[in-house]
Amino acid sequence: MMCGAPSATLPATTETQEIADKVKSQLEEKANQKFDVFKAISFRRQVVAGTNFFIKVDVGEEKCVHLRVFEPLPHENKPLTLSSYQTDKEKHDELTYF
C-alpha cells in the first residue's frame, strides 16, 4: 500500500469494531445523539504520520455513519481521536476520504 493513499475498502474486523467502540462516546457527544446499534461494517486505512481509519458503522434503521479515526504512532502514546464523521449515510454509500 502506498503511503498517503487510502487502502481499498475491506470488511470490518474485530480490530475495526474495537476502534469504533473506543470513539463511540466522542461521536455521540459531537453528533448529540445516542446509538443503540453500533456495528462496524467496512473500513479503509490510510497511513500518514500515524493511521487514519475510515469506518462505516451500521447504527440501525438502515442508517450508517462514516467515521474518520486517527491513531497516532505508538511511541506518541496518545489516544484514538474521532477526527471527523458523516451521519445520515446509507449502507450502499461508498466509504470515501472526507
pTM score, two decimals?
0.90
CA dihedral over 61, 13, 1, 75, signed as positive or negative:
positive
Q: Which contiguous run of DSSP H or E holds residue 50?
A: strand 50-58
CATH number, domain of 78, equals 3.10.450.10
CA dihedral over 1, 74, 13, 48, signed as positive or negative:
negative
Per residue in 8-34, pLDDT (tens digit) is 899 999 999 999 999 999 999 999 999
What is the pLDDT confidence band of residue 3, given thresholds at 50, 70 and 90? Answer: low
- What contacts 45, CB < 8 A, 6 or more positions away? 1, 6, 7, 10, 51, 52, 53, 54
Residue at 74 is within a domain: yes
Residue at 41 is within a domain: yes
Per residue in 52-81, pLDDT (tens digit) is 999 999 999 999 999 999 999 989 899 999
**What pLDDT score does 1 carry?**
45
- The domain in which residue 26 lies consists of 10-89
Residue at 83 is within a domain: yes
Give the count of domains, the chain. 1
